[in-house]
Structure 1
Amino acid sequence: MDDIVETRRAKGSGWKSVYDTLRTDILSLRLPPGTLLDETTLSERFDMSRSPVREALIRLSGEDLVVTLPNRSTIVAPIEIATFPKYVEALDIAQRMNTRLAAELRTDLDLKSIARCQREFEAAVKSGDHLAMSETNKQFHMAIAHAGRNPYLASFYERLLDQGRRMLHMHFEFLERTHEGYLLTDEHNLMLEAVREKDVEKADLLAHDHTRQFRDNFINFMKENYTTDVPLRQLRTAT
């Protein structure tokens, strides 16, 4: 009886294993943008029926990590380089607004949460695990967003951070290989201190500079690895 229950449980939760594995492969770029995700091939890979594979793909689609084409085939979502300037402009606004609000409204409990997330990011940097680095980077910024007490802005910010994780992975790779710049750690600490001091204007400026550093290094990565020019739009100066 226990074996039957365990089998049923495994079948019901099978999509989660497929989802977790594919999500990790996509975010870490082991599955490059544009890779075809064939349900039959994936079913064979995971030794499952197509139903849990299809469910996993639906959930990944909800996170904009895969897209379904008109012919109904599914691919890993492309990284839209042409729209990168608009993406980073939206990220800049969201990052600045959430950080400003955190500096204004944070509590002592918020500070502990932000500091803990920063320690986890620093540990990930030391490990050299880019996937862990992008996840802990997101958690650091979301801890700041939650301190700002605006769930609408926080939700918008989280979606942008998720959409940018593969680009951040490239950003980390570029910095480690070229040693041009640093892995955000110092900037995180400065942002934490500005929030701690309730210095709204300084927090705004640091958040803006943080986005600009990410933008510049990602553009440098693209120029180094691809011949296509990336159109740039200057971020508005923080005021």
Structure 2
Amino acid sequence: MDEAPENKRVKGTGAKFAYDTIRYEILALTLAPGALLDETSLAERFVMSRSPVREALIKLAGEGLVVTLANRSTIVAPIDVTSFPKYVEALDIAQRMNTRLAAQLRTEADLKAIARRQKQFETAVRSGGHLAMSEANKLFHMAIAEAGKNPYLTSFYARLLDQGRRMLHLHFQYLERGQDGILLTDEHAQMYEAIYARDIDRADALAHAHTRQFSANFMAYLQENHSAAMPLGGPKLA
């Protein structure tokens, strides 16, 4: 999984250190959605000037992880539940297309890479920890995307996974609590088998079902934990 940056840095790498640290804490939900990011406080914490912190925040804003308000203060971007149906729609299209292409174009080297990532995911499920599960899940799906040989779709998919990483973390936290992670290892294994067999239609159907499963579990998490505080709404699942 993504590792928290060590508390040391090479001279001249202040902006990268600040970026890596803040990004990790946002994705890990250590910094809660809506939390204020004060440049002065962060500069003091990282023992650096405000300039590299500002540079890091600008980069994070470009990734949609932080938001600059009208009063020029910066906060961790809220998780916009109301846009979740549109997010799932885009994720589903990217996931299905990449998986279809992987089934069509995969090489033996691709199969080995996908299998290796699947074993890493199984290890994360057994050892527990939703952050490790989330990161291993991303690496598995990116191995599939890379097997599809379309760098544009791969890049789009990676950005979607990063943009939804906090929702995915909550999803895996929910699965970890319910001990349903084994279900995902089965789904991953079935996707691998379809790609191995070059069964394009089955790979497509499994990718679609995988997205629906994520959507259903995330909505269940919200209803269980935030039904009184967050607006709910999601894609209708057939």
TM normalised by structure 1 equals 0.90
For the residues of structure 2 that align with 1:221 and 1:106, how far apart are their CA atoms? Answer: 35
For the residues of structure 2 that align with 1:223 and 1:139, how far apart are their CA atoms? Answer: 28
> Quick one: percent identity of the two aligned structures?
67
For the residues of structure 1 that align with 2:197 and 2:175, how far apart are their CA atoms? Answer: 30
5+ residue gaps in structure 1?
1-8
Q: 1:132 to 1:181 in 2, by over 3 A?
A: closer
1:231 counterpart residue number? 233
Residues 126-184 of structure 1, C-alpha deviations (whole Å, 9 max, x = no match): 33232232222111111111111111111111111111111111111111223457452
- Which residue identity is paired with 2:232? V
1:156 counterpart residue number? 156
8 Å contact from structure 2 (residues 131, 172) kept in 1: no
How well do the aligned residues superpose, as a CA RMSD in angstroms?
1.7
3-state secondary structure, aligned to 1:83: helix
1:5 counterpart residue number? none
TM normalised by structure 2 equals 0.90
Alignment of 1:23 onto 2:13: no
Deviates more, 1:178-187 or 1:61-70: 178-187
5+ residue gaps in structure 2?
1-8
Q: 1:183 to 1:65 in 2, by over 3 A?
A: farther
Map 1:173-184 onto structure 2 (within 5 A): 173-179=173-179, 182=182, 184=184
1:109 counterpart residue number? 109
Alpha-carbon deviation of 1:62? 2.4
- Following TM superposition, the consecutive aligned residue runs of length 4 or more in structure 1 with deviations greater than 4 angstroms are 180-183
- Which residue identity is paired with 1:142? M
Map 1:65-144 onto structure 2 (within 5 A): 65-144=65-144
Deviates more, 1:179-188 or 1:45-54: 179-188
For the residues of structure 2 that align with 1:180 and 1:187, how far apart are their CA atoms? Answer: 12
3-state secondary structure, aligned to 2:75: strand
For the residues of structure 2 that align with 1:21 and 1:183, how far apart are their CA atoms? Answer: 32
Alpha-carbon deviation of 1:230? 1.3
